[in-house]
Amino acid sequence: MAQSLRASTSPSFLALPHLNLKTIWKRTAGQRKRNGLQWALLYHGFEFEVQVHRGVDDARNMARVFPFMDWALGDAVQVKDYWH
């Protein structure tokens, strides 16, 4: 990864397909307008823990919403070749 950053290119793992978690959650919960992580937590009865937009805290808070998501929707919202 460090070598690709030095060469001013994206790390190779960024070219892999990924899931748009916000879209999966919105479709699972039937939400259209309110769709941020903080709203998703409130929707399921949780409060945002620690600091907003701190990577580790965001990841932990996202993990709390995962059990409520319909993962069968994953194929429909898979983003391919995002960085190219």
pLDDT in tens, 19-50: 888 889 999 999 888 878 889 999 999 998 88
In-domain check, residue 5:
no
- The residue among 32, 29, 42, 35 whose CA lies nearest residue 68 is 29
Amino acid at 56: V
Is 56 within a domain?
yes
Percent of the chain clearing pLDDT 70 (strictly above): 85
Mean pLDDT, the chain, rounded, equals 82
Beta-strand ranges (E) seen in 1-84 are: 18-19, 78-79
CB neighbours of residue 35 within 10 Å: 14
Is residue 65 in a domain? yes
Give the range of the structural domain holding residue 61, as residue numbers without chain letter. Answer: 21-76
Domain assignment present for residue 1? The answer is no
Q: What pLDDT is attached to residue 79?
A: 74
- In angstroms, the CA 70 to CA 66 distance is 9
According to the model, what pLDDT value does residue 71 have? 87
Query: Tokens 């990864």 map to which residue?
Result: 1
User: What proportion of the chain, given as a percentage, has pLDDT over 90?
Assistant: 32
Total structural domains within the chain: 1
Q: What pLDDT score was predicted for residue 40?
A: 93
Nearest to 23 by CA among 81, 77, 72: 77
Does 66 map to a domain? Answer: yes
Query: Could you tell me the pTM of the whole model?
Result: 0.69
In a domain, 15, yes or no: no
